[in-house]
Amino acid sequence: MLLVAEPILGPEEKTALAEVIDSGWLTMGDRVRAFEQAFAEVHGVEDSVAVNSCTAALHLILHALGLGPGDEVLVPALTFVATANCVVYVGATPIFVDIESADVPLMSLADAEARCTARTKAVILVHFAGYLADREAWRDFARRKGLLVIEDAAHAPGLRQVGTFGEAAAFSFYGNKNMTTAEGGAIIARDSALLETIRQARGHGMTSGTRQRLNARTPTYDVTMLGFNYRMDEMRAAIGLVQLRKLPGWNEVRSRLVADYRQLIAERCPSVTVPFQQPRLSTFHIMPVVLPAGVVRQEVIDHLRENGIQTTIHYPPVHLMTLYRELCPGVQLPRTEDFALRELTLPLHPRMEAETVELVVDTLARAVQAETVVKAVA
């Protein structure tokens, strides 16, 4: 089965893990700190905070910024549910915003403005599929409305422009991401005081960690704020240090594969559209396409699967999920809903080659053609 996403792990990661085991120190320590510094350098900032997931990263950012009950936070519905969940974690209310269009499935600035109220305090921008939102437009909007800007950069590690939109950015190293630590995440913020608050909050609000107390030869510590158990461990950091060195090359491979996809889809199944026709900065995390209206997506999925090709969907709209229909009733986002009904995510990862892309596109073309013929006969 050709998978939608596939991590690349090899001898270097195994060696890094063995070194951690041999060291006898497994919890947050020197390797976590080294990974934080290396990740910060890649993104052109002074420092970062490593955590155990992107969900933890988003929660910590919202918590450290003081968002809470009575506050509203603008979020896209075309995202993984964690983006909205983290707003609920701090007691605030997610306000779902439509996408701009099927070609630009990023949060609509016009719809965001229409949904702003006196209670709106922040906006979470999701760099869907690795494509960056329009920084200057959103920064101007935030200044006019007095909003905090948070980046959900789960799809976009490795670009220096990420983390420059506003207060902080959250990253994911889950197993299907551009780089992985199996589970894991990180935060960058240009305000050092905000970053230090986040750093302390990730470890129960304690004033020192276990490794720090060992080096300082004193067992005492204090708790000066509410905190959480969101730490990264040494094994994940060790994998992350290896993966981070490979990230630029992997992102470049993704870029070439997406270019191949765009060309072949235009030639061989032009009724299928590929979002983001206009070039913009991207890490090319996933390969979303939009099927023609009337084509039964499940039939296309089944056809590809029968030919050994996995596909998936990014994303079922969050506002239509049972929890959020109950928490936020009556939300209608027509562009998001139409996109989500016709979107299909094709395989994209650095293990693939140009020939693999050609195989996927040819199989997709046959599937769509078969569906079109069936529809015409019916």
pLDDT of residue 143: 97
What value, to the nearest 5°, has the Cα angle with vertex 350 and ends 172 and 306? Answer: 100
pLDDT digits (tens, 9 = 90+) for 240-283: 999 999 999 999 999 999 999 999 999 999 999 999 999 999 99
Q: What is the DSSP letter of 292?
A: P
Q: Is the pLDDT of residue 210 over 90?
A: no
- Residue 362 pLDDT grade (very low, low, confident, very high; cuts 50, 70, 90): very high
Q: Is the pLDDT of residue 217 over 80?
A: no
Span 73-88, mean pLDDT?
A: 98
User: H-helix or E-strand containing 18?
Assistant: helix 11-23
- Residue 373 pLDDT grade (very low, low, confident, very high; cuts 50, 70, 90): low
The pair of three-digit structure tokens given for residue 24, joined into one six-digit string: 């006898």
Q: Which residues are catalytic?
A: 177
Options 3.50.50.60, 3.30.70.20, 3.40.50.10800, 3.40.640.10; CATH for 11-98+105-242 is: 3.40.640.10
Q: Is the pLDDT of residue 378 over 90?
A: no
d(CA 55, CA 185): 8
Average pLDDT, the chain: 96
Any alpha helices (H) in 171-276, and if so which ranges?
A: 192-201, 210-216, 234-268
Q: Do domains 11-98+105-242 and 248-377 have the same CATH topology?
A: no
pLDDT digits (tens, 9 = 90+) for 271-328: 999 999 999 999 999 999 999 999 999 999 999 999 999 999 999 999 999 999 999 9
Say which amino acid occupies 240: G
CATH class of the domain whose range is 248-377: alpha beta
pTM more than 0.85:
yes
For residues 100 and 109, is the Cβ–Cβ distance under 8 A? yes
Span 108-120, mean pLDDT?
A: 98
Radius of gyration of the chain (CA): 22
| Domain-wise residue ranges, the chain | 11-98+105-242, 248-377
